[in-house]
Amino acid sequence: MAESVYKIVELVGSSPNSWEEAAKNAVETAGKSLQELRIAEVSELDMKLEDGKVAAFRARVKVSFKYLGKE
């Protein structure tokens, strides 16, 4: 219904393999509450380094949840 209120949440997922996997991890951890939603925006990409090598790819994604009026 058009009048629902949503809350935007910024999550950070990570993966040793790719930004796609990192973003998927973030979205799917939150997935049960995301049933009705259609878009997750990427707000930032970075890499975790260890000993001068890439240890993980990380993606920040913004998703929205139905807001239930309490914080």
Residues linked to residue 20 through DSSP beta bridges, in sequence order: none
Hey, what are 47's tokens? 């890499």
Query: How far, CA to CA in Å, does 57 sit from each of 2, 29, 30, 31?
Result: 36, 17, 19, 20
- Minimum distance from CB of 47 to a copy of itself (Å)? 5
- Minimum distance from CB of 3 to a copy of itself (Å)? 6
DSSP letter (8 states) at residue 2? T
- Minimum distance from CB of 21 to a copy of itself (Å)? 9
The residues of the shown chain that bind a copy of itself, judged by CB under 8 A, are 2-20, 23-35, 37-42, 44-57, 60-61, 63-65, 67, 69-71
